[in-house]
Structure 1
Amino acid sequence: MNDPLYLFGLVPADTAIVPAGVGVDGTHPLERLELGDLTAIVSTIPRQEFVGPEAEERLRDLAWVGPRALRHQAVIRDLMDQGPVVPVRFATLFSDAENLRARITRHQAALSAFLERTRDQAEWSVKALHDRKSDLARITERTLAERATELTALAPGRRYFEEQKLRKAVESGLSTTLAEACRWLYERLSETATEACKVRLQAKEQSGLALDMAANWAFLIARSAPDAFKQTVDALSGPGNPGGLQLQMSGPWPPYSFSPRLDES
């Protein structure tokens, strides 16, 4: 059985984009596979690395996945620097060129429209961050202090019950405030973007950030307008929004969050 093809991304066939270097295995070279109006950037991958029970175990090993995922991203960034690209998710494999051709043909219209829509555009990430533990402690302390006279007059058991109710109310109120602030921010930031979408939240253990993530967004921004977008982000960060959320911006990235899914029928 032949080794599968590993797909990195798709580019317009009429561009002179030249993939450089090797694939995620560090051995097989990158190649162009012409598919009519589109060109797939692929490499052969040893079957045993990504297919079978042992491969499934490796794909759960961050030490193994990490350098290969970084190589995957580096290839797509290089393609993006040369022109428009449809970035494909890590570890997207096809049994052979004909299988790949059939899948691309099925999504031809959506892929071509995407390349045209994202020409001269890049994705920028914006995360809304806060210290939930610190915020809860601060608001709870203030709330209990405001009700101190009333609480002190209660019997110990009743006082404990009322304090717990107040703590729960503070937590619920904070969640509502943050949700409203996130909606407000998303609307303001979307006004300066070509497109916008919400991205899955990550816990601090996943994100590596010191603060909690209240929202995670992706914005499609014209390559000529990142400075204007950054100014908007800076102006809305912290005291610039109702929840006092800190905004963290990063990019430019290939437009992963807006790319058509090839695994959809």
Structure 2
Amino acid sequence: MIRLSANLGFLWSDLPLPDAIRRAKAAGFDAVECHWPYDTDPDGVKAALEETGLPMLGLNTSKGGAGEFGLSALAGREGEARAAIRDAVEYAAAIEARAVHVMAGLARGDGAAAIFAENLAYACELGAPHGITIFIEPLNARDVPGYLVGTVEEAAAIVERVGRRELKVMFDCYHQQIMGGDLLHRFRRHRGLIGHVQFAAVPSRAEPDEGEVAFDRLLPAIAAEGYDGFFGAEYRPRAATDAGLGWLKVLRGKI
């Protein structure tokens, strides 16, 4: 069975996070994930998770300041980056989230990659006692020009460089379709390093009922490669979230 997760960074984002968790349960999702929950009391989030029985799959480290997309590859920002990692791991542990996505930031080159690798190793050290997986997510260069990691291939090289079993790649079909396509082959090639899969329509990043990727075929094909995790719906709704959930029923009917 294909298990679907609602990314509450985009879905029901107008609601307090505990209420969004409840709406995701009512809509028929099997899990939830989020972006930056830090303004919400973790006790309220944990209570909503326990009430609904939904697992929280993961959350992100801080983006930093305006226009930034993370801190962990930036020279001279190591103290801020590690504070953000500590905050993320502590919050994740408090709500029993399964993973933390460490955001690299707008930096390129070997020096930035070395800084990122050191901070990822630090994140793994902090997360390991809690059973928390650490994620790298490559982001496409059209939406986030200058981001350190753009492709699954680049992310895989960093995972291998760090050499920690807690470190995995988040394979976002939207970003990777833009950054080269050939999704099933590239997933298959890096299967052992991939810890989570996300999806959204390409190129719109709206509900996955339009665009150039047939998710009713792709998601089962990925599952057939041995992936038994959740598929995270990380899309920007065209209107109110509930109004656009027809894709969920259709997809369930096909897979």
Higher strand proportion (structure 1 or 2): 1
Between 1 and 2, higher relative CO (CA 8 Å, sep ≥ 6) is seen in 1
| TM-score bin (small chain) | under 0.3
Give the alignment's TM-score, normalised by structure 1: 0.23
Give the alignment's TM-score, normalised by structure 2: 0.23
Higher helix proportion (structure 1 or 2): 1
